Structure 1
Amino acid sequence: MKRPSLSSGFATFTVIWSGQLASLLGTGLTRFALLLWIYEQTGHATSIALLGFFSFGATVIVSPFAGVVVDRLDRRWVMIGADTGAGLMTVLLFILYSAGGLQVWHLYLTSALTGVFEAFQLPAFTAATTMLVPKSAYARVSGMRSLSTSIAEIGAPLLAGTLLSIIGLAGVMLIDIATFLIAVLALFRVRIPRPDGSAEPTAEPRNTRSDIGAGFRFILQRPGLAGLLIIYAGINLFGALTYMALMPTMVLARSGSDRMVLASVQAALGLGGLAGGLCVSLWGGPKRRIHGILAMTALSFLFGDFLFAIGRGVTVWVVAAFVAAFFIPFMFAANRVIWQAKVPPILQGRVFSVQGMLQRAMMPLGYLAAGPLADHVFEPAMAAGGVLVPFFSPLVGTGPGAGMALMFAGTAILGTAMCVIGYAFRAIRQVEDDLPDHDAALPPDALAA
């Protein structure tokens, strides 16, 4: 393998990143429009939360197999295939909606299939980045990836809220299809180097089971990485339970289903992420990456979730969204940098896929529990005359959305506590010092299996 120069590698990354940015914007348009559509059809938090359950559930199940594919094949072609599959899901939804046959279960099915494609795309993109830029640039390119997500979060809700009244849901999906084509064409323009040894013949045929096992073994033999995964899984559980699954429903419930209020809150999420992503891109984040994961995530939970809990109007929700999202790029960048630095490139597809599976493993549970807890436990308990009203109404109020607000108060406490627990374990706290970087010392068994 011959690595590209810094300038050519970064130029290649920028081409891929630009295509993915366009695709993210189009996907965000369709997701926001379909979120409004499903809420209008059902009016239940469970219906919206199930979208995340099916998407992340499928990603978790498929991830170990996806990692084997990422390490065996050209990562560019893996990304092309994944983007194409995701784009075809939008084409299918467009056809169903145009024919007047779109139903809620269709969204669950396509969400699951899109989750399958994402299981291939994310580790392939991260592993490809390792081959394109030097270690010193990992944090900054991770910041750029967070920037693209944030730009989509800013633009998509506001554009979708406007476009729905002009071109309707079908028109929004057509724009999404066009942006998917841009992403695929960008990938056709570039070449991504393969890691040393990935194209060499082996003495024995490669076995899928042992390849998957290699990813698990690499992590389990390193307590710092394994512990980091456990903490990250807990963080994702609490994030999925409210921030990801219930925030749109809570805002709609407390604003009288005002789509522009929701669009403003979603845009504030994007602005917060954009500001955080710019800071990471320019600064690189804390020198001690573990602080970027634990301390920054604790701040996001403590201030973002708590403000969502006590807020009863768009002004406080916008501030909460900005604060919560600002710290997330720091967490993403620090986590990616640690893993990219510690895992040999030839193993990154397998290890990153197992990592993704394990750290997202609790998210489907969070999505699955969020809707029933909101609809059948906390919302009735915080309605007028509810059993929890005497205790918590001064904090979160009463009526529609108050029960979900109380759940945000709970995740503010639990998420912060999870981060503090991470600091209590030396293997996690010292993961950067205890484990050598892959380019400093390659374990003799690293290429086993």
Structure 2
Amino acid sequence: MKHSGMRIFTLIWFGQMVSLVGTAMTRFALLIWTYQQTGVATAVALLGFFAFIPYVLISPIAGVLIDRYDRRHIMILADLGAGVVTIGLLVMYRLGALQIWHLYVAEAVAGVFEAFQVPAYTAASTTMIPKGQYGRASGMRSMAEATSQIAAPMLAGLLVTLVDIDGVMMLDIATFLVAMATLLFVRFPLVPKADAAERRPLGHDLQTGFRYIVARRGLLGLLITFVGINLFAAITYFAILPTMILARSGGDEVALGSVQGALGVGALLGGLVMSVWGGPRRKIHGALGYTAVSFLCGDFLFAIGRTLPVWIVAAVASSFFIPLLIGSNRAIWQVKVPPDVQGRVFAAQGALQTAMIPLGYLIAGPLADKLFEPAMLPGGMW
């Protein structure tokens, strides 16, 4: 079945959104399970660490293969692999044999498949839609991610009480099938191979993405900026925030789910604005300006907040600007990088930006356990 323009992108976007919701439900349920089993933030933070490390290491190789082979096939195989990982966890849980280290292994394997799926999705979208629609398409992707943030905590919390964690994982597996089905019914536009990448040695192609970025000062400066942003975000939002909410609320899972849902609401609204508007004309202003506003709103309010209403306001205020900054940044790269090398360049970009996230998790876990969490408990310094 052949489609063109935004129709093919919208169909794929829908399937990926459904899959995102399923994956987020499983991760939320297993995050709570991990915290209940261990009671320490480091164990939770390590889930993220083991997910991101393979992504960083495998991305350069994935980028080469994305430029050599059909990006649709790569996305299908990545979705299939992620589904198999969930099936493995489901079997272990039903046998009563699931342990924390199993989750670390599963996250690592899933990270490998994500290293293929994410840059393939971004590179493929460049050839599907007109240049003027890049910002809107990015807004739609942010809406999908936000939908998973909103729906996953609520659905996972409800389903865990009704059908237990294994029921959540079974639903997750069904969502993978939806994503794969949408990919099976479309064809991606062909990408011209301007440099005959498929005939070059793998070692040469592994360097292409990095060399392309280093040779262009504007892209290199933008990348360095987002490397720093990702490190700070990993320490604050990804690793410390969940345990901070649990510590200040006395382990209230509803409070944590509400805050994560609020983060999703803000991102959904921001994604909606971006999908309709397309972002500012000068995308660099959006990439940097909205980043500053997001951190200022979120970090300040979370730092002074002691109650759920304040946390919800902080979550919505900070996450609203995230789709705007991500969309602006992504559009810059899609415009500046030729389609035939986007797999390698986007993989290199993703690897370098993402490398700071596991580092942030490693820093944040011990800080949360030894400093922040004790300080936030009743009678603590804060």
TM-score, normalised to structure 2, is: 0.97
Distance (whole Å) between structure 2 residues aligned to residue 33 and residue 384 of structure 1: 27
1:278-298: per-residue Cα shift (whole Å, max 9, x none)?
A: 110111111111121111011
Q: In the alignment, what sits opposite 1:310?
A: 304
Q: In the alignment, what sits opposite 2:162?
A: 166
Q: In the alignment, what sits opposite 1:191?
A: 187
Q: In the alignment, what sits opposite 2:59?
A: 63
1:6-39: per-residue Cα shift (whole Å, max 9, x none)?
A: x822111111101001100101111111111001
Give the SS at the match of 1:141.
helix
* Aligned with residue 227 of structure 2, among 226, 233, 236: 233
Q: In the alignment, what sits opposite 2:43?
A: 47
Q: CA deviation at 1:310?
A: 1.0
Higher share in helix: 2
Distance (whole Å) between structure 2 residues aligned to residue 88 and residue 314 of structure 1: 37
1:213 equivalent in alignment to 2:216: no
Q: In the alignment, what sits opposite 2:146?
A: 150
* Aligned with residue 28 of structure 1, among 24, 30, 54: 24
Distance (whole Å) between structure 1 residues aligned to residue 40 and residue 286 of structure 2: 36
Distance (whole Å) between structure 2 residues aligned to residue 248 and residue 213 of structure 1: 37
Distance (whole Å) between structure 1 residues aligned to residue 128 and residue 111 of structure 2: 26
Distance (whole Å) between structure 2 residues aligned to residue 46 and residue 152 of structure 1: 24
* Aligned with residue 283 of structure 2, among 286, 289, 292: 289
Q: CA deviation at 1:107?
A: 0.7
* Aligned with residue 265 of structure 1, among 247, 259, 262: 259
Distance (whole Å) between structure 1 residues aligned to residue 375 and residue 161 of structure 2: 36
1:324 equivalent in alignment to 2:322: no
Q: CA deviation at 1:67?
A: 0.1
Give identity over the alignment, percent.
57
Structure 1: which 4+ aligned runs deviate by more than 3 Å? 377-386
Give the SS at the match of 1:257.
coil
Q: In the alignment, what sits opposite 2:241?
A: 247
Instruction: Report the residue type matching 1:265 in the other structure.
Output: V
Asked if structure 1 preserves the Cα contact closer than 8 Å seen for 2:210 and 2:348, the reply is yes
Instruction: Report the residue type matching 1:105 in the other structure.
Output: W
Distance (whole Å) between structure 2 residues aligned to residue 381 and residue 140 of structure 1: 43
Give the SS at the match of 2:180.
helix
Distance (whole Å) between structure 2 residues aligned to residue 17 and residue 147 of structure 1: 10
Q: In the alignment, what sits opposite 2:114?
A: 118
Taking only aligned residues, the RMSD between alpha carbons, in angstroms, comes to 1.6
1:371 equivalent in alignment to 2:369: no
Distance (whole Å) between structure 2 residues aligned to residue 112 and residue 121 of structure 1: 14
Count of residues in correspondence between the two structures: 381
Instruction: Report the residue type matching 1:70 in the other structure.
Output: I
Q: CA deviation at 1:201?
A: 6.1
Q: Where do 5+ consecutive residues of structure 1 fail to align? A: 390-396, 398-449
1:260-303: per-residue Cα shift (whole Å, max 9, x none)?
A: 11111111111000000011011111111112111101111111
Q: CA deviation at 1:212?
A: 1.4
Q: CA deviation at 1:381?
A: 5.4
Instruction: Report the residue type matching 2:200 in the other structure.
Output: R
Cα 1:69–1:149 shift into 2, 3 Å = same
1:179-234: per-residue Cα shift (whole Å, max 9, x none)?
A: 00000111000000121126x967x9421111111111110000111111111000
Q: CA deviation at 1:377?
A: 3.2
Q: In the alignment, what sits opposite 2:269?
A: 275
Distance (whole Å) between structure 2 residues aligned to residue 352 and residue 303 of structure 1: 29
Give the SS at the match of 2:186.
coil
* Aligned with residue 175 of structure 2, among 157, 179, 190: 179
1:87 equivalent in alignment to 2:92: no
Distance (whole Å) between structure 2 residues aligned to residue 303 and residue 313 of structure 1: 16
Q: In the alignment, what sits opposite 1:107?
A: 103
Distance (whole Å) between structure 2 residues aligned to residue 379 and residue 20 of structure 1: 36
Distance (whole Å) between structure 1 residues aligned to residue 104 and residue 97 of structure 2: 15
